[in-house]
């Protein structure tokens, strides 16, 4: 039997704060411009040796079939991690899930949802209800239901070699607009999300990211 978890009242939830675009990791823009061609090369492939020398937590992001982009960790606010690219795209990630974006054609402005712990008992027995709000065009409090399925652990090829990771699939749906997709999260034994493919908006292709240098604890 599925158990349904939803938000009792939006009024009791704190809204996401506005991203502070004035605070960028020191020297990041200059460093990025100096190394981006060398790291990605003309064929958009990555040189892991050069990425390892970047003095920031980093990840590689790709939207749909577009080119890969390097993002670095700009700031941390409790359990929310803000990542930024050189062209001003921001992703705010909490527990491996993208909860806010800036600089995309259609931005996820807010995500209200229950806290989900990847290691909680009987995760697959629950249906979680979230409310998403978007900009361009504006759409507020879109109800989205999701349930999770944990797959077997297997060897996955990452930029810096292979890792034993478990694949967690999140099936999402919004009956209101007929939106159905599957998000994927690859987690290690400590439930850190190293890689993910997420549909965050019905008007955007999936966002895929791979952490290339993990943030410090």
Domain boundaries, the chain: 3-12+25-213
Instruction: Provide the percentage of residues in the chain whose pLDDT is more than 90.
Output: 55
The pLDDT value recorded for residue 8 is 33
DSSP E strand boundaries for 26-138: 58-63, 69-77, 80-85, 90-94, 97-102, 107-112, 126-135
DSSP letters for 137-175:
TTEEEEEEEEEEEEEEEEEEEETTEEEEEEEEEEEEEET
Structure tokens at 85: 């690219």
Residue 134 has pLDDT above 50, yes or no: yes
Domain 3-12+25-213, what architecture? Answer: Beta Barrel (2.40)
> Each residue of 139-191: pLDDT tens digit?
999 999 999 999 989 999 998 889 999 999 999 999 999 999 999 999 999 99
The answer to whether the pTM exceeds 0.85 is no
Q: Exposed/middle/buried for 173, CB within 10 Å: 0-12, 13-18, 19+?
A: middle
CA distance 159 to 25: 23
Residues in the chain: 217
- On the question of a cis peptide bond just before residue 127, with omega within 30 degrees of 0, the verdict is no
Q: Regarding beta strands 126-135 and 3-5, do their DSSP bridges make them parallel or antiparallel, or are they unpaired?
A: parallel
């Amino acid at each position: 039997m599925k158990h349904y978890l939803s938000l009792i009242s939006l009024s009791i939830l704190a809204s996401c704060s506005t991203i502070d675009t004035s605070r960028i990791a020191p020297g990041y823009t200059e460093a990025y411009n100096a190394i981006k061609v060398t790291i990605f090369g003309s064929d958009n492939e990555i040189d892991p040796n050069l990425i390892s020398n970047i003095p920031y937590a980093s990840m590689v992001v790709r939207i749909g079939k577009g080119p890969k982009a390097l993002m670095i960790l700009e700031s941390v606010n409790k359990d929310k991690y803000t990542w930024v690219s050189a062209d001003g795209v921001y992703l705010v990630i909490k527990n491996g899930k993208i909860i806010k974006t800036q600089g995309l054609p259609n931005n996820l402005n807010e995500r209200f949802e229950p806290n989900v712990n990847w290691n909680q008992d009987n995760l697959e027995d629950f249906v979680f209800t979230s409310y998403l709000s978007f900009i361009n065009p504006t759409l507020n409090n879109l109800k989205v239901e999701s349930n999770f399925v944990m797959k077997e652990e297997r060897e996955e090829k990452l930029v810096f070699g292979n890792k034993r990771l478990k694949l967690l699939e999140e099936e999402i749906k919004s009956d209101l607009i007929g939106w159905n997709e599957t998000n994927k999260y690859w987690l290690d034994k400590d439930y850190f999300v190293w890689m993910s493919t997420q549909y965050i908006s019905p008007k955007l292709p999936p966002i895929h990211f791979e952490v290339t240098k993990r943030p410090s604890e």
